[in-house]
Chains A and B, each alone.
Chain A
Amino acid sequence: MAYSELIKNFQRVRDYMRAFYVFGFKSRDEYSKKSGRSYDNERRRIESWLGDYMRFLKTEEGKSVFLSIDSRAMPENPLYKAFKTSSFTDRDITLHFILFDILRSPDTALSAPELCERIDGYLSGFDEPIEFDESTVRKKLKEYVDQGIVKAQKDGRKVLYSRTKEGGEIPPYMLQFFSEVLPCGVVGSFLLDKQTESRHIFNFKHHYILSALDSDVLCDIFIAMREHREITADNYSPRFSQAKQVAIVPLKVLISVQGGRQYLIGYSREYDQMRSYRVDYLSNIKIKDVAEDFDSLRKWLKRNEKHMWGVTLRNSMRGYDKVEMTVKIGDNEGYIINRLEREKRCGEVEIIDEHTVKFTAEVFDASEMLPWLRTFICRVSEFKSSNKQAERAFWNDLDKMYELYGIKEG
């Protein structure tokens, strides 16, 4: 099949884009274990969409291709472009523009045969006009009814089709902002494409743009969640390097703005457990039946969220990990207390004396807190946890860091 910059299936290019953006050190040979041509086509497509951000590096192992984007300098997420590449047929695009030219206002309501007749009128000016039979037109109209852009209403035995109402003008700055900060922001980007260009007034710090690639998956998850429905999905496991189908009652999406990942918290009937799933590992979402216990599962989650530092959940009957960290603060270092108060996601901050502050918490998994606790290195006078593994890991890692930077033990 001839190369085209448009694609039918998003999943493959999603994987390549993630690899180019996150890693970017792999050479062609490392990607092309299955097919070299597939790699070449995907690389060429991504270069066509995002050429300004493509970089190349020559190493002994070959040339590596990667995406390098300073997202703080971008007023809009460039990865959204990938969602504007869906392929279509000549018939699709022709029918689309003619249909909406005929259905120019919500007051114009026509039946499928009437529409077919008018469509022929538009095509008669071409040397080799495309022929649209009534079933093709009906199929397209049904698709558009499902998408919400065409309305079908019965008039006696006939079904009349009209376009849905346009709606008011959407404030452009609102769209610029929310298309970058809300989940499925790519939808806002679609809306911006239809507006006349406005000045970009925002930029975004600590902005993880990669989650854009999960918009399709996330959107299906939200749709299922709103209807309290279960889903099945292919869940990729790096341990087994392949995907396994999982059935989940989706309950909440947790988004990290410090790590750049998105997680789905859901109930697994198979394991009778609440679990967290990385959204970037999920694909092929299928929306299933209504989960009758949705409300009670969500209530359980809500009750227990206050003990989640990250995304780990487990049966609270096993008890929580107790964590206690004491930090030393110098004169005029009150901002450290502010930091503790501002950055803690649960737990308590207690001022012991002028130079000592204690942080305590009860969490599902103390090891999730280690990265945050390490940010207080140079002040930690005590760290204790009922999770002895996490406690040892903290001190052992610290010893390794002394070694790494050539600092002798005191």
Chain B
Amino acid sequence: MVFSELYSAYYNALAEIIKQAQREPLTAARAREIIGNTAFRESAVEITDAISAERWQVIHSDYTTDLKYTPTMPLTTLQKRWLKSVTLDRRSKLFGEWDFPELADVDPLFTDEDYRVFDSYCDGDPYDDRDYIHRFKNILFALHHDKPLDITFHSSKGKRVSVTVRPERLEYSEKDDKFRLYVMGGRFGSVINLGRMEVCEVHDGRNYIADRSHSERPRELLLEITDERNALERVMTHFSHFEKSVEKLDDLHYRVKLIYDADDETELIIRVLSFGPMVKAVAPERFINKIRERLIKQRNISAQKRVADFFSSQLFCAGGRLLRLLKTTAGFRVCGTAGFKVFLVRNFFSVKKQEGFGIV
């Protein structure tokens, strides 16, 4: 069972308080600090009240304890089963060998047979590739020990680039199924796709100072939703990972404000388009114009296609009319005569051609 007091923040807070009380005399103020780090806003009142009233009889009102050992709890079956599922995921190799014999006989909570992400892109990073794993481990090491990295990668334009950078964090996109490394000090940008890396080694230790860091470029987008075909719920869930607010305009219309990174604008345009007429961008003008540009281009392609279809259908109709004409006796006679005359004329010119140029 996932929802159990065994995993509760209060149990964790009390374990931490006991641990501290076993080490040194504890004050109520220090206990409140511990609670603030392990539980919630109002927890300090509830927990310190329980301790003062000695309702939880593992710690006295003066914050001393009779427990002899640091509080610990073995892993639950649920935790073991989930961990077993982790070990079966192909991405787990990225984190190195991990010895946990207790999991040997444990049934996983789920495997690839039991679930599937059905809409991630199919050109994800090569998690089984030994070189990729080696580079990933180097990145983990550098991040953990705050070391610079020497990286050679292929830019989006196909150029081979070598840089020394200080890694900041790894970003994973479930949709792209790719990792990207945010770095400081990169001459060619502050984000490097792991899939584009050729070499990634920990820098040899000489002093390295990185000055440039990645800076977000937040932008605001206003959308108007028409709540037909359950659009409101679909849109709000789809864009739920952004910082956002929503306002009801009337029973059918809602206005949503999203904050997004400027680097992701093209992706966001595409995502807005995917909702069709249910979602309209209403600000900023630049964003609206980009959508309009696409729609105008689409209208022109559709118009060209209609013209092409019109002419081909006219041609088809003319062919049809000729066939119908051939089916009548008079029509057959007219077409036969015309055909014979064409044959005579063609033959005449053909003979002339042979005489004139001597080509067979």
Contact = CB atoms under 8 A, between A and B. Distances in A.
B238 A259 contact: yes
B42 A5 contact: yes
Interface string B150-183: 0000000000000000000111111110000000
A225 interface: yes
B283 interface: no
Interface residues of A, number: 140
Given A147-B77, A183-B115, A206-B174, A259 B301 contact: no
Interface string B19-43: 0000000000000000000101111
A88 B238 contact: no
Contact of B118 (A66, A174, A310): A310
B74 A255 contact: no
Contact of A216 (B3, B173, B237, B246): B3
A1 interface: no
A4 B46 contact: yes
- Please report whether the interface of chain A is mostly helix, strand, loop or mixed according to DSSP: mixed
A16 interface: no
Q: Which of B56, B80, B100 has the most CB of A within 10 A?
A: B56
Contacts of A371: 274-276
Interface string A127-147: 111100000000000000001
Interface in A73-112: 81, 83-88, 90, 92-94, 96-98, 100-101, 104
B74 A167 contact: yes
B277 A255 contact: no
Nearest to A126: B57
Contacts of A204: 171-174
Nearest to B67: A101
B342 interface: no
A48 B98 contact: no
Interface stretch (A35-43, A240-248, A317-325, A376-384): A376-384
Nearest to B7: A190
Contacts of B200: none
Interface stretch (A20-28, A153-161, A266-274, A357-365): A20-28
A6 B8 contact: yes
B249 to A, nearest CB: 10
A361 to B, nearest CB: 14
B298 to A, nearest CB: 5
Contacts of A148: 74-78, 80
B321 interface: no
B277 A165 contact: no
Contacts of A194: 12, 73
Given A24-B246, A57-B247, A94 B115 contact: no
Contacts of A201: 140, 143-144, 169-170
Interface in A320-367: 328, 338, 341-345
A168 B95 contact: no
B274 A372 contact: yes
B39 to A, nearest CB: 8
A23 B237 CA distance: 9
B72 interface: yes
Contacts of A90: 50, 55-57
A259 B119 contact: yes
A370 interface: yes
B269 to A, nearest CB: 9
B248 interface: yes
A94 B57 contact: yes
Contacts of A381: 301-302, 304-305
Contacts of A84: 7-9, 12
Given A90-B50, A97-B18, A405 B288 contact: yes
B57 A69 contact: no
A226 interface: yes
A98 to B, nearest CB: 6
B295 A405 contact: yes
Interface stretch (B106-114, B310-318, B347-355): B106-114
Contact of B175 (A186, A188, A206, A400): A206
12 contacts: A66-B246, A70-B241, A84-B7, A96-B11, A170-B83, A178-B89, A188-B82, A201-B143, A254-B116, A311-B118, A345-B122, A401-B276
Given A22-B237, A122-B57, 19 more contacts: A23-B246, A69-B241, A100-B72, A122-B67, A127-B54, A171-B96, A183-B110, A184-B82, A186-B2, A187-B79, A190-B7, A191-B79, A201-B144, A338-B123, A341-B122, A342-B123, A375-B274, A377-B273, A404-B280
